[in-house]
Amino acid sequence: MDDLKEIALTIIFAGICLRVSLVFWNSNKSLKLTERILVSAHGVVIFLIFAVAFLVNYFGFSSFDYGNPYQAFLTLPIISMIFSVFRHQGKKHMLLLHLYMLPLLIFTWVFGGMYVTGDSL
């Protein structure tokens, strides 16, 4: 039964991340392609960082040496969020979706960091 909870949380996590990126992608059609990607990438990047951390742990490649590079990669969604604040062309209230992304980023930082380093609670 615990596995079902983890699977459900993972599906919700992925759904929120990918949906927020899709919303930003669809609302910034007037931007150049590179700007549009940067404005909408934060959700996808958070999801990919967490997925890679999970896979590193799953295949037994965890190491404390990966902790610092992992934390460096966590700056990418932050950069994308900041960029989207200044370049977003849609309705400004959509920027409130970043409030959903911050807890997911913290979740990714904590639990993904444990996956990547092989640490546990």
Residue 66 has pLDDT above 80, yes or no: yes
Q: How far apart are CA 118 and CA 61, in angstroms?
A: 8
- Phi, psi values for residue 41, rounded to 5°: -80, -15
pLDDT tens figures, 14-39: 999 999 999 999 999 999 999 999 99
Amino acid letter, 81: M
Q: Give me the number of domains the chain comprises.
A: 1
Q: Give the pLDDT of residue 80.
A: 95
Find the DSSP H helices in the chain: 2-26, 33-40, 42-58, 67-73, 75-87, 98-107, 113-117
pLDDT tens figures, 75-95: 999 999 999 999 998 888 889
